[in-house]
Amino acid sequence: RRRRAAAAAAAAPPPGEGAGSVGDDALGRRESVDSLCGEGAVLPGRGDLTTVTSEGYGEATLGTCERLVRLLMRLTECVPAMEGWGGGWNLDADATLLDIGSGYGKVVVHAKLLSRCRAAHGLECVRSRVEISNLTLQGLYGELDRKALDDDLLRGVSFCCADATREAVLRYTHIYAFDRVFSQYTLAALARLLQRSHFFVFVSSKGPRTWWRHGLSKVQPVAKMRFVTTGRERCTVFIYVNAQFVPGV
């Protein structure tokens, strides 16, 4: 037994060089990253996961955009339970819209043109999509006639490349997110942001239990509609209201 113990002690690595040491663990992770992603590849930090895990793309058809915007414009008329709720709920001239993950800007532009809302802003984490959105907006200005330009038809439309979840608070009456492609990291961060934000209406492809599970407890669904993408994918989008602003609650 003494000989076996002596042999085991002689074979053991010096302190700090064992298989469980920090140095070896880090080296093993580095070798794994290099083998999977190429030598010198850098993995995103936890703070970047809200964007890099949710860069998938999905675009609504023209007909879907129009149906959604027209529903938001007449929400208190279309939902019987909202009758008499007063202003703030409908997408009208006093409303402001934020599209989280705005892609090429289709929903933002259509919402502005149809509803004449005060402002329509798109946040997108992929820079090339924001560049295309801004080029499209410039092209629209070139196609408008003099009367439309004088009426400031596109005034208040803007696009920005940013991670929406890094915002301190969102101050828009209506928030839309085509979050079907959002990762769990992004959903959790977005839920925390929305919980501390001030909005009246939120549009999402995720069901209420998903949002409640992530901590967004103040939203209640009041309507839903079928959503069709240009890739012929179909899903359901839910229209939520902020229960903190519901009359009598």
pLDDT number for residue 77: 95
pLDDT number for residue 4: 55
Q: How confident is the model at residue 61 (pLDDT cuts 50, 70, 90)?
A: confident
Region 29-55 average pLDDT: 45
Return the H-helix or E-strand segment holding 160: strand 157-161
* Order of strands, sheet of 234-242, starting from the edge strand that comes earlier in the sequence: 157-161, 119-124, 96-100, 174-177, 201-204, 234-242, 219-228
> Average pLDDT of the chain?
82
Higher local confidence (pLDDT), 39 or 19: 39
Place of tokens 């079907």: 180
pLDDT number for residue 97: 98
Q: How confident is the model at residue 37 (pLDDT cuts 50, 70, 90)?
A: very low
**Is residue 138 predicted with pLDDT exceeding 60?**
yes
Helix (H/G/I), strand (E/B), else coil: 172: coil
Percent of the chain with pLDDT over 90: 59
Q: What is the pTM of this model?
A: 0.77
Residue range 93-124, pLDDT digits in tens: 999 999 999 999 999 999 999 999 999 999 99
pLDDT number for residue 91: 97
Least confident of 4-13, 138-147, 239-248: 4-13
Least confident of 25-29, 63-67, 143-147, 210-214: 25-29
pLDDT number for residue 18: 43
The residues pairing with 224 across neighbouring beta strands, listed in sequence order, are 238
The residues pairing with 20 across neighbouring beta strands, listed in sequence order, are none
Percent of the chain with pLDDT over 70: 74
Q: Are the C-beta atoms of 175 and 203 separated by less than 8 Å?
A: yes
Distances (CA, A) of 87 to 72, 90, 201: 13, 7, 12
Higher local confidence (pLDDT), 74 or 35: 74
Region 240-245 average pLDDT: 97
pLDDT number for residue 6: 52
Residue range 148-181, pLDDT digits in tens: 666 678 899 999 999 999 999 999 999 999 898 8
Q: How many CA atoms lie within 13 A of 105 on its CB side?
A: 25
